[in-house]
Amino acid sequence: MAELTQDAAQLEAAAERTARRAERAWAWSMGAIIALMLALIVFTTLHWGMQPPSSVETIDSMRLQLGGEFSEANLGTSVSPDGAVTVRVLAQQYAFVPKCIVVPADTPITLRAVSADVVHGFIVQGTNVNTMVIPGYVATLSTRFAQPGEHRMPCHEFCGVGHQGMWAQVRVVVREQFPFEQAAEAAVNCEKR
């Protein structure tokens, strides 16, 4: 009888050691995953200039077309009196307005986007431009395109049956080719410049 009790005690101790080992391995691997995620956030922030959209600026999505900052004439690229370049984009099922955005290369650019209906989003590959566009909010991003070139700007939030066909083009031109004077008077795009 005494022998049996001793065996049981030994088994229990062995089981506890196994459980402890498994728990420790679990805790370390979870810690490693959290550390990796934090490191990725720090890396993309510092190295790619990734930034979460401000999302604190609200706007009435039902009244966008009735005038104000995102009325049709203001959509596209404009240059303010202090020389700042701002691109205003309207996202709606299933297109971006303007469909083709033109911007000067090697110039600080502010992107401001709104949605007229549901949640959309967009990414410009090879840049830090990547945001959701949530109805009721203005998504604002700062960027700079180092080189002239063409970029695709697809919608990356599922927004309905036409989602996969929703994309815009970003045309980055050398500064000398960008119509700064026209853009100071009214917003320009690839067709209107």
What does the binding site for ligand CUA look like in residue numbers (CB under 6 A)?
94, 120, 155, 157-159, 163, 166
Nearer to ligand CUA, 163 or 192 (CB): 163
Please identify, using beta-carbon distances, which residue of 111 and 159 lies nearer to ligand CUA. Answer: 159
Task: Please report how close the Cβ of residue 117 comes to ligand CUA at its closest, in angstroms.
Answer: 9
151: nearest Cα among 175, 122, 172, 176 = 172
- As measured in angstroms, the least distance from the Cβ of 158 to ligand CUA is 6
**Of 120 and 171, CB closest to ligand CUA:** 120
Cα–Cα distance between 12 and 16 in angstroms, integer? 6
Which two tokens mark 84? 């700042």
CB of 77 to ligand CUA, least distance (A): 21
Shortest CB 183 distance to ligand CUA, Å? 26
Assign 22 to helix, strand or coil: helix
Which of 103, 116 has the CB closer to ligand CUA? 116
> Which are the contacts of 85, defined by CB distance < 8 A and separation ≥ 6?
77, 78, 79, 103, 104, 107, 108, 109, 110, 183
